Amino acid sequence: MGHVANLRAAGRRDKVVDDPLLNRCGIQVARTVAARARHAIGRRRPPADADVASWVRSLRREGLVVVEDFLATEAFEAVRSAATAALDDPSLPRDHVAPGDNQLEVVWRSDLDERSRSTLDQLWCEPRLAAIATAAERASIAPGAGRCTLQRLVQRAGSDHEAQLHVDTFYPTHKAWLYLTDVDLADGPLRYVARSHRLDPTVLRAVYRESVGLNGPSRRIADDEVRARGLRERVLTCTANTLVVADTSGYHGRHQGAPGAERVALHLEWRLDPFRRRPMLEEDRSTAIT
């Protein structure tokens, strides 16, 4: 495409602009600032539930919120049992992702039978979680909207492509995990740098350097960038039934665990177009082929 077409394309959700001239002119920095401004003017109605309002304040301030014992005990045990049965069912379609040497197994909500889906919907369609997503994305997020999956991550000897700190994209976007197992260092826990989701001159300079250099879709974060901002990393070990919601435009990665260890979670991802925001986010459908 020519420069004019690429300039038009810069107003879409594509992670990068494949145009060296526009990047030298600062188009990726401009997209980053514009997307944050568009997000900031979205709906600001505070959640009615006091607990949810507190969690949302933490998420906006830190880029991360951690809620222990999110589901009632009976509901959690039912969810864990249904998740185990689904993962152990060889007839279910699933994606197998190899982020380096580790193995990530992904079962989509839309591939589950009605009984299993209704049980796991006690998390995926949990009203408080939808309220967190609505407040975080500043858009109407219905229960069950976005990308809902069941995930099992198995640690192998070697390395993980997600180990280095990185950002998913240039605009605010959120992921959530309800851990169905205890997560220790051996299990490959999430790493997150609190308050790294905020823009400042250090970030914008790094965005520019990346855009005129590698121009990778998920910018990798050097240790000196974290130090220059005076931020600290947090490694999220936790007990089962802990909910974690993170803004993945902030710095995050995955600790490399011990071979054979695994963690299981129900996962959600909400990613709206930063410039063409739909009034309602729909459920993503399965891409699994086996």
Q: Give CA–CA dist 29/43, Å, rounded.
A: 24
Q: Work out the pLDDT band at 269, boundaries 50, 70, 90.
A: very high
Q: Work out the pLDDT band at 279, boundaries 50, 70, 90.
A: low
Is the pLDDT score of 216 beyond 90? no
Q: Give CA–CA dist 213/210, Å, rounded.
A: 5
pLDDT of the residue at 173: 95
3-state secondary structure of 246: strand
3-state secondary structure of 220: strand
Residue 66 pairs with which residues in a beta bridge? 244
Is the pLDDT score of 255 beyond 80? yes
Check: CATH 3.40.50.720 for 3-283? Answer: no
pLDDT of the residue at 289: 57
Question: Residue 97 is inside which H or E element, if any?
Answer: strand 95-97
Residues 236 and 177 sit within 8 Å (Cβ to Cβ): no
Tell me, yes or no, if the pTM score tops 0.85: yes
pLDDT of the residue at 88: 96
Is the pLDDT score of 240 beyond 90? yes
pLDDT of the residue at 31: 95
Q: What is the pLDDT of residues 92-117, one digit of tens each?
A: 999 999 888 999 999 999 999 999 99
Question: 258: closest CA among 177, 153, 150, 107?
Answer: 153
Tell me how crowded residue 289 is: count the other CB atoms within 10 A of its CB.
7
Is the pLDDT score of 32 beyond 80? yes
In the chain, where the domains are located: 3-283
As given in the structure block, the two tokens for residue 241 are 């039934």
Ramachandran class of 32: left when φ > 0, alpha when ψ lies in -120 to 50, beta otherwise: alpha
Q: Give CA–CA dist 131/142, Å, rounded.
A: 8
Is the pLDDT score of 20 beyond 70? yes
As a whole number, mean pLDDT of residues 25-30 equals 96
pLDDT of the residue at 256: 94
What whole-number percentage of the chain has pLDDT above 90?
76
pLDDT of the residue at 284: 73
As given in the structure block, the two tokens for residue 284 are 């993503």
Q: Give CA–CA dist 192/212, Å, rounded.
A: 26
Is the pLDDT score of 276 beyond 90? no
Q: What is the pLDDT of residues 40-84, one digit of tens each?
A: 888 777 788 999 999 999 999 999 999 999 999 999 999 999 999
Number of helical H runs and strand E runs in the chain: 9, 11
Q: What is the pLDDT of residues 142-201, one digit of tens each?
A: 899 999 999 999 999 988 889 999 999 999 999 999 999 999 999 999 999 999 999 999
Please report how the helices 73-87 and 114-124 are oriented relative to each other, as an axis angle in degrees rounded to 10: 130
Considering the chain, what is the average pLDDT of its residues? 93
Q: Give CA–CA dist 284/143, Å, rounded.
A: 13
pLDDT of the residue at 231: 97
Is the pLDDT score of 232 beyond 90? yes
